[in-house]
Amino acid sequence: MNRFHWQKMSDGHKPSEAKLMVCLAQHAELAETGLKVSEVSRLLGLTPPTVTQLVNGLEEKLMVMRQADPADRRIVRINLTEQGRKTACRIGRRRMEHLNRLVEYLGEEDSNRLAELLLKMHEFVSTNDFSPESISRDGDENHG
């Protein structure tokens, strides 16, 4: 999928910004006070500095806001603004429409098979080391 298509689907935002906003929207009910950068980092599989950069950009666009935690003012929580909530809903709706079209195109049997394979792949990837160091090390062993 090209960059233009992703930006159109993501309301003009980078895919990573869109993912962050959708993540905040999905967890808004569970974390009424917002999410910490470390929580967003864990949920999205990104480093905290990367999340901080995304939050900075979205804050400039008035999509998110930082707020002190009511129980511990040293902790900063990230929340969607009203504009951010509306944008996240539109993005989520568009992504669901695309997914529904894919399921419709594939049919029930192929969709189920794809889901099974993706779960199996996720299990494999989450239990194996794919770091650059590991890949480089493996290459040295096989060619040494």
What structural domains and CATH numbers belong to the chain? 3-143 (1.10.10.10)
Largest CA distance in the chain: 58
pTM: 0.72
Q: What is the pLDDT along the chain (144 residues), one digit of tens a residue?
A: 555 554 455 667 889 999 999 999 998 876 678 899 999 999 999 999 999 999 999 999 999 999 998 889 999 999 999 999 999 999 999 989 989 999 999 999 999 999 999 999 989 988 887 777 777 665 555 554
Q: What is the pLDDT of residue 32?
A: 73
